Chains A and B, each alone.
Chain A
Amino acid sequence: DAGVTQSPTHLIKTRGQQVTLRCSPKSGHDTVSWYQQALGQGPQFIFQYYEEEERQRGNFPDRFSGHQFPNYSSELNVNALLLGDSALYLCASSLRLAGVWGELFFGEGSRLTVL
């Protein structure tokens, strides 16, 4: 049973470029959330996708956008990259049952460096 998988593991971009990160949820899960973790800090919630729609959003600018596909996988897109976007991006999946979300399972993350 595969857990949450993320790609790529590491990537380097320059300011102003755009990046796409990908996430496949744990088998049987239908909800994907994305978190940004800057060095030395705790993760911060970016947004959550359920039934292919953005359901919740944290305090992140519109440069951060996402998508969820019919197979529940998800992408995180960041446009016009800034140096401050350098971070570990974590994907977490969960299952919604009877209106309640279960435990979150995290992937290993994608480490983005912006030069």
Chain B
Amino acid sequence: SQQGEEDPQALSIQEGENATMNCSYKTSINNLQWYRQNSGRGLVHLILIRSNEREKHSGRLRVTLDTSKKSSSLLITASRAADTASYFCATDAGGTSGSRLTFGEGTQLTVNP
């Protein structure tokens, strides 16, 4: 079963606009990760945020984590057509289940040129 939910399920924007995707989860986590997937191919790791962090940046990506609300958001700034993909959040409970990721359902992002 999936750990959480992602919102929205689909997002369509114009190039240059910002895209925000949200993720909610149910159990305590060690870290939360965001992945990108192009057309049903392999997953590409984007960014990891630990449970004691609140915000993290990587290039045009900004991730926030609110452990009290069990939620995270991924912001892609100045989007490009090449950002079109599915984006998944995944939680790692750590401990003995370390590296076992529980994924959300994903957000399909379409960036129109």
Contact = CB atoms under 8 A, between A and B. Distances in A.
Query: A and B from one assembly?
Result: yes
Interface of A: 4, 31, 33, 35, 37, 39, 41-45, 48, 56, 58-59, 88, 90, 92, 94, 96, 100-109, 111
User: Chain A's interface: helix, strand, loop or mixed, by majority?
Assistant: strand
A42 B106 contact: yes
8 contacts: A35-B101, A41-B106, A44-B1, A56-B100, A101-B99, A104-B99, A104-B101, A111-B40
Interface of B: 1-2, 35, 40-45, 48, 88, 90, 96-106
A41 to B, nearest CB: 6
Given A45-B101, A48-B100, A96-B99, 6 more contacts: A41-B105, A42-B88, A42-B104, A56-B97, A104-B99, A106-B42
Contacts of A92: 43
B43 A88 contact: no
B43 A43 contact: yes
